[in-house]
Amino acid sequence: MKVFVTGCTGYIGSHTCVELLEAGYEVAGLDNFSNSKKSVLDRIKEITNKEIKFYEGDMLDKNILEKIFSENKIDIVIDFAAYKSVGDSVQKPVEYYINNVSSVLTLLSVMQKYNVKKLLFSSSATVYGTPEVMPITEEAKVGGTTNPYGTSKLYVEGILKDLAYADKDFKICVFRYFNPVGAHPSYLIGEDPLGVPANLMPYICKVATKELPYLNVFGNDYNTLDGTGVRDYIHVVDLAKAHINGIEKLNNTDKNLHIYNLGTGKGYSVLEMVKTFEKVNNIKIDYRIVERREGDVDECYADSSLAEKELNWYATLGLEDMCRDAYNFSLKKY
Ligand code: NAD
Ligand code: UFG
């Protein structure tokens, strides 16, 4: 069975390719390296002893998609390719909507042409906006997104819903990821953001490696246990494995559209993250409390019981694994 993975050299894409190859799937992949490095391909090979059939190019380019679908007998598509920086998206909304929405339309039109009708799509907990009830189930209201990145995911979910309704042959699985962190235990692949990290774990890692002097904790007056923001951090390897369960689901379902939260169901505050990181890695993380960051919510964690029930998937790795693996990967300078 052949899986086509867009954004295959990115953070979640690379971990998923490893799981796919190790599970015996053939993989064709596309990336334009707008947020990843070519050397990731060598490291996927080093881990798995197998190779992706890789295409360098842009998902907005119909010609490269046509080439991939005509040269490979694709059974299923996993779509990771997107821009993902919340702050950047506020500055560059047009670029974000083109890259995150138009590219999906291009992909879908080529999938239709080649009669490939199974898709797993990477969405985000951000589609819930400011959640009203915790933990968040898939039934919770979506919308009220506060930035173009989040809105782009919401739009694509809407498009996929319309398509699932219109074409009963399509089988679509939307995954709403919570906060993926950590790295593969080989420490050959992991999260490697360009510039100053916008997210908590990569920022903590840069403080640990002394590339940044201290962590700015964005507010300690939230309505949480210790006043700092609470999120549902999930190990990227657990997240990657869920895609194998997603494929199995799409191969054995009559329903056209499935939506699943992927999280651990547990929330941890920023200060709990810092303390766990310090303990596991035996390293001091200096921090300062600063102003709240605009658009942040008090807490956001998943009810992942639907994924457990229907996909037979649940997270097995805990916060200590996440902190250890993220740090060990950040010590490697690839
Ligand atoms: P990433 O930036 O590490 O990976 C995305 C990959 O897609 C990169 O390698 C990039 O070069 C590539 N890419 C982007 N636009 C492309 C295009 N037009 N054509 C070809 N390649 C393109 O991001 P990630 O963390 O691996 O995220 C993967 C997906 O999961 C994204 O859709 C993201 O929005 C979603 N997601 C991520 C998070 C998170 O916190 N990491 C949370 C929720 C959802
Ligand atoms: N935080 C800090 N200091 C930092 C970075 C973050 O205190 O330097 C805090 C935030 O205020 C928040 C928590 O750490 O309370 C987590 O922040 P992240 O930026 O790591 O993650 P977010 O929950 O804000 O958002 C992430 C991705 C989104 C995705 C969402 C899904 O950035 O793209 O998870 O839940 F949609």
What's the pLDDT at 132? Answer: 87
Find, among 259, 74, 254, 28, the residue nearest to 160 by Cα: 259
**Confidence check: pLDDT of 334 > 80:** no
Q: Is 43 in the pocket of ligand 2 (CB under 6 A)?
A: no
Tens of pLDDT, residues 66-75: 999 999 999 9
What's the pLDDT at 219? Answer: 97
Report which ligand 2 atom has the smallest distance to the Cα of 217.
7
Please name which ligand lies nearest the alpha carbon of 288.
2
Please name the residues in contact with 292: beta carbons below 8 A apart, sequence gap of 6 or more: 218, 219, 221, 222
What's the pLDDT at 142? Answer: 97
**Confidence check: pLDDT of 193 > 90:** no
Average pLDDT over residues 119-134: 95
Average pLDDT over residues 79-108: 96
Tens of pLDDT, residues 267-300: 999 999 999 999 999 999 999 999 999 888 999 9
If pLDDT is split at 50, 70 and 90, which confidence band does 192 have?
Answer: confident
Is residue 64 within 8 Å of 58, Cβ to Cβ? yes
**Confidence check: pLDDT of 194 > 90:** no
Average pLDDT over residues 89-111: 97
Work out the mean pLDDT of the chain and round it to a whole number.
Answer: 97
User: Which amino acid residue places its CA nearest to atom 16 of ligand 1?
Assistant: 81
Angle (nearest 5°) at CA 117 between 116 and 119: 110
If pLDDT is split at 50, 70 and 90, which confidence band does 195 have?
Answer: confident
User: Which amino acid residue places its CA nearest to atom 21 of ligand 1?
Assistant: 31
Average pLDDT over residues 75-94: 96
Q: Is 151 in the pocket of ligand 2 (CB under 6 A)?
A: no
Please tell me the distance between residue 68's alpha carbon and the centre of ligand 2 in angstroms: 35
Please tell me the distance between residue 122's alpha carbon and the centre of ligand 1 in angstroms: 8
Alpha carbon distance 79, 6 (integer Å): 5
Average pLDDT over residues 302-331: 98
If pLDDT is split at 50, 70 and 90, which confidence band does 47 have?
Answer: very high
Q: Is 177 in the pocket of ligand 1 (CB under 6 A)?
A: yes
Strand duo 179-181 + 299-300: pairing = unpaired
What's the pLDDT at 42? Answer: 98
Which range, of 17-31, 41-55, 158-172, 187-201, averages the lowest pLDDT?
187-201
Average pLDDT over residues 139-145: 96
The 3-state DSSP class for residue 180 equals: strand
Find, among 200, 282, 303, the residue nearest to 191 by Cα: 200
Tell me how far the alpha carbon of residue 279 is from its chain's centroid. Answer: 27
User: Which amino acid residue places its CA nearest to atom 6 of ligand 2?
Assistant: 200
Report which ligand 2 atom has the smallest distance to the Cα of 149.
33
Average pLDDT over residues 250-279: 98
Alpha carbon distance 26, 234 (integer Å): 26
Q: Is 178 in the pocket of ligand 2 (CB under 6 A)?
A: yes
The 3-state DSSP class for residue 123 equals: strand
Report which ligand 1 atom has the smallest distance to the Cα of 149.
34
Helix (H) or strand (E) segment spanning residue 15: helix 11-22
